[in-house]
């Protein structure tokens, strides 16, 4: 009897330790279904097209964007969101790089802060693809194939990922959405968002600005037309501002905020966008 | 065997004596537990705010309800960023940490006379710091998440626009005190002087000192200033004067290593003085009883 009790206690302890060590997005957390996190992986292993997009990039991405056909991925980084690139991370530039579906880096460029000064959140411009995927907008317009500047004037990004002013109520279009965040959760000035590929849903990422509190970030997914809340994830880890809707899965990709330093890497996580995942 | 026990006991005793000495040394420093127990410096306690670093120009602004707000650097997921810390300095309770829509520099804070709006202006050196290139934003005191740009005249704003301010010739540091009956001018580039409302000098309080912090005047009429202490002491000091006649009321000499990080400020009733210090990415707030 005593041995059986000891064995049960041992198993419970091992299970608890395994969960604690692996975290809510670790193996034990996924078995338990905790936190809605589906997967954790590195930027170099970002899965976007069914296979692994093995980039040669490390870092904490500021913005992640996929081309409309899903064959290319653009990433921006700056002094806060580091990229490991040839020549290192330059503090007075926001850097943009483009990868093809095999993970080969086609090109990278730096946009000087004196040309595109970052705002109070550290963002210098909105990164995006043209509807055809041939042009990357990053303060100016770049040819997606070559990385050459094709329009030197500042160009508004047509990308559906937009930042929204943080407030009790947000308006992604005509609909008003009330963000259900706990009392005392004060986010950054702006919320990051990503629209689903069909344009019907919006994923909103709210990150706690600073200070104590277990909840560090929250993802809320709403139906845009009705405003109905479809999924809510409360996350107890600090996140970078990047959020991306997975092109094949019903899920969004976010990046953990590592140390803001050259050589820092960032773990990506996948969160379910609805009941289907 | 016995000799081994004796050595072990000696080592343990030595460790105990060392630990006791260290605790006594720590406790006897300004705001340490012995200092507080004996009431030597008048320190009543210290609260700690992790992930908060004030600067020399982080002047606390009372919010009129017992709370105060400071513009400081805060630890965020994106590194250290400028933000507003709302807190109750008496209890140490936090009322929130808010991001600032400003690019760099240390903001100056001014509460409107009716207590409903907080004006947040760029630092004196760095102007045009708002995202739209302006020099100041305004927010509701009870909702520091929504800001609007507001025009301000001049870079040497020392009070909420529309409220009494000293004439410009008294320099950017001058403030009106004692319900408009006194002007406190200078401090860093000029001597700290006390003037009456007509500009007649009452007293020179201190020599000019670029390392000194801006003085604060309590509701009960006491001027407090933080400044470097004597070099051999290795700590900063606080000095107090009467706002009516400029008479010096006392000093607190900080122990070695006791360094201010931001200007001291008073509780709204003038009963307590709060002194911000820094320690490894945290702000320590020492509370002193008024002299």
pLDDT in tens, A157-211: 656 677 888 877 788 777 888 888 888 899 999 999 998 888 899 999 999 999 9
| Sheet of B201-206, strand order | B175-177, B182-185, B192-196, B201-206
Determine, for residues A211 and B74 on separate chains, whether the beta-carbon distance falls below 8 Å.
yes
A chain contacts of residue B50, beta-carbon cutoff 8 Å: 212
The CB-based long-range contact list for B110-117 (8 Å cut-off, 24+ gap) reads B110/B61, B110/B157, B110/B159, B110/B160, B111/B61, B111/B62, B111/B63, B111/B64, B111/B141, B111/B160, B112/B160, B113/B160, B113/B162, B113/B163, B115/B63, B115/B64, B115/B141, B116/B140, B116/B141, B116/B142, B117/B141
Tens of each residue's pLDDT in chain B, 291 residues: 678 888 888 888 888 888 877 777 778 789 999 998 888 889 999 999 999 999 888 889 999 999 999 999 999 888 888 899 999 999 999 999 999 988 766 788 999 999 999 999 987 666 678 888 888 999 999 989 889 998 887 667 778 888 888 877 777 788 888 888 999 998 888 999 999 988 899 999 999 999 999 999 999 999 999 999 888 878 999 999 999 999 999 999 999 999 999 999 999 999 999 999 999 899 999 999 998
Asked if B92 has any chain A CB less than 8 Å from its own CB, the reply is no
Q: Does B231 touch chain A (CB under 8 A)?
A: no
* Distance from C-alpha of A145 to C-alpha of B281, rounded to nearest angstrom: 45
DSSP conformation class of A83: B
Contact across the interface for A119 and B103, Cβ inside 8 Å: yes
pLDDT band at A89 (very low <50, low <70, confident <90, very high): low
Residue A136 structure tokens: 């990357």
**Using an 8 Å Cβ cutoff, are B236 and B254 in contact?**
yes
* CB pairs < 8 Å spanning A and B: 65
CA distance B239 to B245: 15
Beta-carbon separation of A240 and B77 below 8 A: yes
Q: Which of B69, B78, B84, B120 to mutate to test the interface with A (most CBs of A within 10 A)?
A: B78
Distance, CA of A160 to CA of A163 (rounded, Å):
10
| Contact state of B74 with A210 under an 8 Å Cβ cutoff | yes
Interface of A with B (CB under 8 A): 80-81, 117-122, 166-167, 184, 186, 188-189, 207-212, 216, 238-241, 257, 260
A164 vs A192: CA distance, rounded Å? 6
* CA neighbours closer than 13 Å in the CB half-sphere of residue B276: 30
Give the model's confidence band at A22: pLDDT under 50 very low, under 70 low, under 90 confident, else very high. Answer: low
- Cα–Cα distance between A102 and B228 in angstroms, integer? 62
What chain A residue is nearest to B84 in terms of C-alpha separation? A210
Question: What is the pTM (predicted TM-score) of this model?
Answer: 0.83
- In the numeric block, the tokens 């001049």 are attached to B154
CB contact under 8 A, B98 and A186: yes
Cα distance between the two ends of chain B: 60
B81 inside 8 A of chain A by CB:
yes
- How would residue A69 be classed by pLDDT, with cut points 50, 70 and 90? confident
Residue B224 CA to residue B41 CA, distance in Å, equals 15
Tokens of A75: 């990433």
User: How far is it, in rounded angstroms, from Cα B70 to Cα A239?
Assistant: 26
User: What's chain A's length in residues?
Assistant: 277
Rounded CA separation A255/A80 (Å): 14
Q: Which tokens belong to B162?
A: 């529309």
Q: Which strands form A251-256's sheet, in the order they lie side by side?
A: A37-42, A267-272, A251-256, A239-245
Alpha carbon distance A196, A217 (integer Å): 20
| Cβ–Cβ gap A211/B96 under 8 Å | yes
Q: Which residues of A touch B84 (CB under 8 A)?
A: none
- The torsion of the CA quartet A207, A212, A213, A217, rounded to 10 degrees, works out to 10
Q: Kindly state the DSSP code that residue B214 receives in the 8-state scheme.
A: P
Q: Under a CB-based contact definition with an 8 Å cutoff, are residues A122 and A94 in contact?
A: no
Pairing of β A190-195 and β A149-151: unpaired
Q: Which residue has the tokens 């630990």?
A: B19
**Whole-angstrom Cα distance, residue A142 to residue A151?**
7
Cα separation of B77 and A259, whole Å? 8
| Cross-chain residue pair B79–A211, CB shorter than 8 Å | no
Question: Given an 8 Å threshold on Cβ–Cβ distance, is A210 in contact with B83?
Answer: yes
Residue that the structure tokens 């899920």 belong to? A251
Measured distance CA(A130)–CA(A67) in Å, rounded = 8
Instruction: State the Cα–Cα distance between residues A245 and A253, nearest whole angstrom.
Output: 6
* CB A41, CB A47: distance < 8 Å: yes
pLDDT band of residue A37 (cuts 50, 70, 90) is confident
| Nearest-CA distance A71 → chain B (Å) | 29
- For residue B183, CA distances in Å to B156, B165, B166 come to 16, 9, 7
Query: Per the CB < 8 Å rule, is A119 touching B51?
Result: no
Q: Point out the residue among A167, A209, A238 whose CB comes nearest to the CB of B99.
A: A209
Report whether B137 contacts B130 (CB < 8 A): yes
Write out pLDDT tens, residues A38-58: 777 665 555 554 444 445 555
> Please, are residues A154 and A139 in contact by the beta-carbon 8 Å criterion?
yes
Q: What is chain B's length? A: 291
Q: How far from each other are the two terminal CA atoms of chain A, in whole angstroms? A: 42
| Chain B nearest C-alpha distance from A9 (Å) | 37
Which residue from B230, B226, B239, B231 is spatially nearest to B276, judged by alpha carbons? B226
Cα distances from B191 to residues A42, A199, B194, B216, in angstroms, run: 59, 65, 10, 15
Cβ–Cβ below 8 Å for A212 and B78: no
Q: Do the chains contact at B100 and A216, CB–CB below 8 Å? A: no
C-alpha to C-alpha distance for A24 and A15, rounded to whole angstroms: 13
Phi, psi angles (nearest 5°) of residue B87: -155, 160
The pLDDT score that the predictor gives to residue A54 is 44
């Amino acid at each position: 009897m005593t041995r059986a009790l000891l064995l049960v206690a041992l198993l419970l302890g091992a299970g608890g330790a395994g969960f604690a060590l692996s975290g809510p997005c670790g193996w034990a957390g996924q078995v338990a279904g905790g936190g809605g996190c589906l997967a954790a992986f590195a930027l170099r292993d970002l899965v976007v097209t069914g296979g692994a997009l093995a980039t040669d990039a490390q870092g904490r991405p500021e913005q992640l964007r996929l081309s409309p056909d899903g064959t290319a991925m653009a990433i921006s980084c700056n002094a806060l969101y580091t990229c490991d690139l040839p020549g290192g991370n330059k503090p007075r530039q926001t850097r943009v790089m483009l990868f093809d579906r095999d993970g080969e880096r086609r090109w990278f460029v730096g946009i000087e802060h004196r040309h595109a000064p970052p705002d109070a959140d550290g963002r210098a411009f909105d990164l995006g693809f043209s509807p055809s995927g041939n042009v990357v907008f990053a303060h100016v317009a770049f040819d997606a194939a070559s990385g050459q500047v094709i329009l030197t004037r500042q160009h508004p990004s047509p990308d559906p990922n937009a930042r929204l002013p943080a407030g009790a109520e947000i308006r992604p279009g005509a609909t008003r959405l009330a963000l259900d965040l706990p009392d005392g959760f004060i986010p950054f000035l702006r919320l990051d968002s990503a629209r689903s590929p069909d344009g019907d849903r919006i994923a909103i990422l709210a990150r706690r600005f600073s200070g104590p509190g277990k909840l560090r970030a929250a993802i809320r997914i709403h139906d845009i037309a009705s405003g109905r809340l479809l999924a809510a994830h409360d996350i107890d880890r600090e996140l970078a501002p990047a959020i991306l809707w997975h092109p094949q899965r019903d899920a969004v990709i976010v990046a953990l905020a590592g140390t803001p330093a050259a050589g820092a890497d960032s773990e990506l996580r996948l969160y379910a966008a609805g009941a289907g995942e | 065997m016995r000799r081994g026990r004796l050595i072990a006991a000696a080592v343990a005793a030595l460790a105990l004596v060392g630990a006791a000495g260290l605790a006594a040394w720590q406790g006897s420093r300004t705001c340490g537990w012995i200092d507080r127990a004996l009431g030597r410096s008048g320190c009543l306690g210290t609260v700690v705010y992790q992930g908060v670093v004030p600067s020399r120009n982080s002047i606390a602004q009372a919010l009129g309800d017992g709370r105060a707000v400071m513009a400081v650097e805060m630890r965020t997921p994106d590194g250290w960023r400028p933000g507003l810390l709302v807190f109750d300095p008496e209890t140490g309770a936090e009322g929130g940490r808010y991001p600032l829509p400003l690019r760099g520099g240390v903001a100056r804070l001014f509460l409107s006379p009716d207590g409903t709006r907080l004006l947040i202006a760029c630092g004196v050196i760095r102007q045009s710091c708002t995202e739209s290139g302006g020099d100041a934003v305004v927010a509701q005191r009870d909702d520091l998440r929504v800001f609007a740009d507001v025009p301000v005249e001049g870079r040497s704003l020392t009070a909420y626009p529309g409220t009494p301010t000293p004439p410009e010739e008294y320099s950017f540091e001058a403030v009106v005190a004692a319900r408009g009956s006194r002007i406190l001018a200078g401090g860093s580039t000029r001597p700290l002087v006390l003037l009456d409302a007509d500009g007649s000098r009452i007293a020179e309080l201190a020599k000019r000192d670029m390392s000194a912090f801006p003085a604060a005047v309590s509701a009960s009429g006491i001027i407090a200033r933080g400044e470097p202490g004597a070099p051999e002491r290795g700590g900063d000091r606080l000095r107090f004067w009467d706002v009516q006649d400029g008479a010096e009321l006392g000093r607190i000499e900080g122990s070695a290593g006791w360094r201010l990080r931001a200007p001291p400020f008073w509780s709204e009733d003038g009963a307590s003085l709060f002194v911000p210090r820094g320690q490894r990415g945290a702000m320590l707030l020492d509370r002193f009883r008024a002299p």
